[in-house]
Amino acid sequence: MTSLEDKFEESKKLGLQIVRESEEDRLMTLSVGPQHPGSGHFRFTVKVDGDYIVYCDPDPGYVHRGEEKMCEYRNVIQNIPHLERPVIHDSSNITYSYSLAIEELAGIEVPRRGQYIRALASELNRQVYTLYWLAIYGIFLGHSTMFMWPTGDRELFIDLLEVLTGARVTHAFNIPGGVRNDIPDGFKERCLRQMRYFQKRLKEYEDIFYNMPLFRQRTEGVAVLSKEDAIKLGVAGSVVRASGVPYDIRKAEPYDIYNEIDFKVQYMKTGDCFARSYVPFLDMQESCHIIEQLLDKMPQSGEVRAKLQPNPKGPPGETYRRVESGRGALGYYIVSDGTPKPQHACTALPASRPKARRHAGSVLVAQLLASGG
């Protein structure tokens, strides 16, 4: 490198004293703290060199509420409202995974209609989650229409879920053994009408956001996560599908009735920021088809819940079940010692934080939110 070294030597010859600028001095350490629009409740310590981020160290853990410990003091059904809260937007999926694990431990068979309704709630929730994510993504990139449109459309889905489960966000709908109640009359027509409307709407989203030249310039080719890196880092969900690995738990390890539903796994090969933001969009389109099929194939009548004893418990053992939630693989590892309270219930989420560390040097906010937050 000619510049610094040579100049330093020259200056010594001239008798001048130039204080050598060390590499460390150029960097400034910033704390993108827990109160920041771009980070939610996550803290990053970044070192910046001018405008470029050189080093990034994530520091999560500001919302650690001690759920794993609290699960041990509550019996299996009482745990459901607790375990919804870690991913509040996607509450039906996280309780789905928990219910599957408890059913496996205790040997409970879920009736078919209950399985269909569970899958329906899960798919609707996936749409809700992806729309919320899209809304936050849009507003932080500065596209406020992309905040208003998904939030408004999300309200329509939340209406559907409210009619189905009784609550807007915190459903507590899936319990080990099935779902709490049956779908009301007129739900099927309303839902199908909503799907027709939403599919037209998705085309509009594509026009206004994904085909926007400025968005493309900011995200295409940025923060490429290669296929090998994605596999090594163990990322899951739409991020690994955006890097070229067509892995979806609903296809790889179908749970409940997903082996009877026909859908494609959406993935892209580029692995850049644009791919990570486009794959959830494709997932949403696919989800619409899945919901239509579910409503079509649902058995017309039947029980929705297996009869449970007051304090359900199973033989000692352990299980690990996972579902594909809006964020990716979401699993539960439950150890039971034969009492109604689980001995250890551990939510298993594949890591996204090492990935954030590796990609310092790019637009932090855009790529972070594209990876699902």
Using DSSP's 3-state secondary structure scheme, residue 373 falls into coil
Tell the smallest beta-carbon distance from residue 168 to another protein (Å). 7
Q: Give the contact letters, 104-123, x = binds to another protein (CB under 8 A), - = no.
A: xxxxxx--------------
253 near another protein, judged by CB under 8 A: yes
- The DSSP-derived string for 149-207 is HHHHHHHHHHHHHHHHHS-SS----EETTEESSPPPTTHHHHHHHHHHHHHHHHHHHII
> How far is residue 7's CA from residue 205's CA, in Å, rounded to a whole number?
54
Tell the smallest beta-carbon distance from residue 184 to another protein (Å). 20
Tell the smallest beta-carbon distance from residue 251 to another protein (Å). 8
154 near another protein, judged by CB under 8 A: yes
Quote the DSSP letter at residue 223.
S
- The DSSP-derived string for 329-350 is EEEEEEEE-SSSS-SEEEEE--
Instruction: Give the binding range for another protein (CB under 8 A) out of 21-29, 48-56, 196-204, 318-326.
Output: 318-326
Tell the smallest beta-carbon distance from residue 135 to another protein (Å). 7
Instruction: Give the binding range for another protein (CB under 8 A) out of 3-11, 173-181, 196-204, 251-259.
Output: 251-259
Instruction: Give the binding range for another protein (CB under 8 A) out of 33-41, 48-56, 213-221, 287-295.
Output: 33-41
Tell the smallest beta-carbon distance from residue 39 to another protein (Å). 10
Tokens 């409210």 sit on residue? 162
33 near another protein, judged by CB under 8 A: yes
Query: Cβ(140)–Cβ(315) under 8 Å?
Result: no
- Identified binder of another protein from the candidate list 182, 340, 343, 361, rule CB under 8 A: 343
Side-chain-side CA neighbours of 304 within 13 Å: the count stands at 17
> How far is residue 198's CA from residue 97's CA, in Å, rounded to a whole number?
27
148 near another protein, judged by CB under 8 A: yes
- Identified binder of another protein from the candidate list 88, 204, 226, 339, rule CB under 8 A: 88
Instruction: Give the binding range for another protein (CB under 8 A) out of 22-30, 148-156, 196-204, 285-293.
Output: 148-156
Q: Which two tokens stand for residue 332?
A: 């539960």
For another protein, which is the closer residue by CB, 59 or 292? 59
Quote the DSSP letter at residue 134.
H
Q: Which of 356, 348, 364 lies closest to 87, judged by CA?
A: 348
Query: Cβ(134)–Cβ(280) under 8 Å?
Result: yes
Paired with 347 in beta bridges are 332
- Identified binder of another protein from the candidate list 97, 122, 319, 367, rule CB under 8 A: 319
Backbone φ and ψ of 38, nearest 5°: -85, -10
368 near another protein, judged by CB under 8 A: no
- Identified binder of another protein from the candidate list 47, 192, 224, 350, rule CB under 8 A: 350
Q: Give the contact letters, 227-246, x = binds to another protein (CB under 8 A), - = no.
A: ----xxxxxx---x----x-
Pick out residues in 57-86 that bind another protein (CB under 8 A).
Answer: 59-70, 73, 81-82, 85
Q: Which of 320, 323, 318, 322 lies closest to 343, judged by CA?
A: 318
> How far is residue 90's CA from residue 70's CA, in Å, rounded to a whole number?
20
Q: How buried is residue 142: exposed, middle or buried, by Cβ count under 10 Å (0-12/13-18/19+)?
A: exposed
- Identified binder of another protein from the candidate list 118, 143, 250, 322, rule CB under 8 A: 322
Tell the smallest beta-carbon distance from residue 318 to another protein (Å). 8
> How far is residue 254's CA from residue 249's CA, in Å, rounded to a whole number?
6
Instruction: Give the binding range for another protein (CB under 8 A) out of 175-183, 189-197, 217-225, 309-317.
Output: 309-317
Tell the smallest beta-carbon distance from residue 69 to another protein (Å). 6
Tokens 């692995």 sit on residue? 271
Pick out residues in 171-230 that bind another protein (CB under 8 A).
Answer: none
For another protein, which is the closer residue by CB, 188 or 251? 251
